[in-house]
Structure 1
Amino acid sequence: MQTPDVVHTGYICVVRPFARSHAIGRLFLVTETGDGWCRGMLAGAETELATEVDAVLAADLTGLGYPVTVHTRYHGPIWLTQVAQRVGSVEPPVLHELERLSWSDRADVTLTRGLPLQPKGIDPRYPALEALSDELDNLTDHCRRCRNELHPPLPEPVSPT
């Protein structure tokens, strides 16, 4: 598939790791766009993985034929060349609530949320969520490194005069 000509905030896209166009795609909700890059949150059909900081969006909110979980704490930048295709979108009020949820566990939102995460060793979602974290790192690593988002450069020391 070809990269869409334009990617807008609110788009739900299939994305792939940098320079791996044949890799299995992942759903990604675009929250910000820039020159040649965009930032977003991982999403997926695995609604059972949703935690209290994730939203489960019904098909009528996304244009997809199934509900999806938007993982609000799994976010980062990717290159637009990693976007394979647009498959759905969310309206600005939904996007606004997702962004609020990404910043606060106690965000007052109307979106359906998942179940609270229990301690490791008790909650069976941990292995899948850890794999999701690795997947996010794989998707965003090249863009983060090139844009100096992993370790921003330190400011130059000011010499006393």
Structure 2
Amino acid sequence: MSNTETATFAAGCFWGVEKIFKKEFKDAGIETRVGYTGGDMPTPTYRQVCSGTTQHAEAIQIKFDPEKVSYATLVEHFYKTHDPTTKYRQGNDIGSQYRSAIFYHSQEQKQIAEQVTQQVRERALRDKNLYDNSNIETEIVAASVFYDAEDYHQDYLAKNPNGYECATHFARWCSD
């Protein structure tokens, strides 16, 4: 990709998040990596992150061409494919590593993330069936070091089609 930007999201188990982004944006040529970010331990392992002691979130990092897909579109997809109303939970997955977070890489991304978040908040207030409640718990924080997860986690569900997927990872609405 010649003109690329980076987007980083945490929305629960990174296997399912990676799968739904790759499926939705396959024609846009995005590149994804799953890993850990937002915590205070250098080079964490999966087991350490799962222990809840590192403060890292399971996250996906996306390289994308903004001429093919906008950052706002990625943020909207992030919101419509997980439950942002729970503090540290996605379905049966519980802990700070499963939190909802947008890790912005520029002030422009921060502004877009805040705008889309407000639009989603308003949508949730109008449509009481969208989420269990309308209180958006998503953190919007500056990106920090992103640590790639172990190789067996990369494209996990493509390699293991019957692998575990969080039940909260599905499209809640069609784009307007």
TM-score (norm 2): 0.25
Structure scoring higher RCO (CA < 8 A, sep ≥ 6) equals 2
Higher normalized strand content (fraction of residues) = 1
Which structure has the greater CA radius of gyration? 1
TM-score (norm 1): 0.27
Higher normalized helix content (fraction of residues) = 2
